[in-house]
Amino acid sequence: MSEQVLTPAESLKDQARLALGQRNLVLVGLMGVGKSSIGRPLAQQLGIPFVDTDVEIERVSHMTITELFAAYGEPEFRALETRVVKRLLEGGPRVVSTGGGAFINESTRQHVKRGSLSVWLKADLDVLWNRVNKHDERPLLKTENPKQTLENLMNARYPIYEEADLTVLSRNVGKDIMVKEILAAIVEGKAAEGKMP
């Protein structure tokens, strides 16, 4: 009887999938860290569905995020976001990409912490600014000094993002490298859980 040999890539994605179990994998972090662009190939590697909460919010409201902010303001948008995230987390397992402010909301954060594995994609200001300043659809950056606004958001939100289960540094490397690093963090996180007293 021959023994099957797994390649390192197969082994890593299989180990990560096993470590995730029936939990959702929730990606959190500021706009521009790559939650959606990395979330799709990550879900593909894990063999589970991918969902972007911003896309789902737009689908159920029949409005863009920018239109929602303009029409109802941030508090109403956050209330809708919380309801959508809660509903999405009831199914699973899946990779869930959240909006930058979702995890900041206490209620949403508690939903994520119950039965999901959260990964904070952390990036420095220059990386984020280079990614977001090319786009005009970021409602929170429609200010006189958007780079300063982005830095203010980092200062306010990073201490809360630190509550995520895992942290992976988002930088200017290929998506495949980021996916591999997240898979490795899931496996290492599970191994660390097993060593806890």
The predicted model scores a pTM of: 0.87
Q: Which residues, at least 6 apart from 48, have a Cβ–Cβ distance to it below 8 Å?
A: 17, 20, 25, 92, 93, 94, 95
Q: What is the pLDDT of residue 6?
A: 54
* Residue that wins the pLDDT comparison between 127 and 143: 127
Q: Is position 33 annotated in a ligand binding site?
A: yes
pLDDT class for 1, splitting at 50, 70, 90? Answer: very low
Rg (CA), the chain: 17
Q: Residue 135 pLDDT > 80, yes or no?
A: no
Q: How many domains does the chain have?
A: 1
Tokens of 196: 């806890």
Q: Report if residue 86 sits inside a domain.
A: yes
Q: Report if residue 53 sits inside a domain.
A: yes
**Residue that has been written with the tokens 């894990």 in this structure:** 46
Strand partners, 50: 95
Q: Report if residue 196 sits inside a domain.
A: no
**Percentage of the chain with pLDDT > 70?**
87
Q: Is position 54 annotated in a ligand binding site?
A: yes
Expressed as residue numbers, the domain containing 113 is: 23-189
Q: What is the pLDDT of residue 31?
A: 87
Please state the rounded mean pLDDT for residues 103-128: 93
Q: Report if residue 155 sits inside a domain.
A: yes
Q: Is position 34 annotated in a ligand binding site?
A: yes
Q: Is position 194 annotated in a ligand binding site?
A: no
Q: Report if residue 10 sits inside a domain.
A: no
Q: Residue 138 pLDDT > 70, yes or no?
A: no
C-alpha 166/C-alpha 184 separation (Å) is 11
Q: Report if residue 8 sits inside a domain.
A: no
Q: Is position 37 annotated in a ligand binding site?
A: yes
Q: Report if residue 101 sits inside a domain.
A: yes
Q: Is position 36 annotated in a ligand binding site?
A: yes
Average pLDDT, the chain: 87
Q: Is position 78 annotated in a ligand binding site?
A: yes
Q: Report if residue 1 sits inside a domain.
A: no
For residue 127, the domain's CATH number is 3.40.50.300
Q: Residue 11 pLDDT > 90, yes or no?
A: no
Q: Is position 29 annotated in a ligand binding site?
A: no
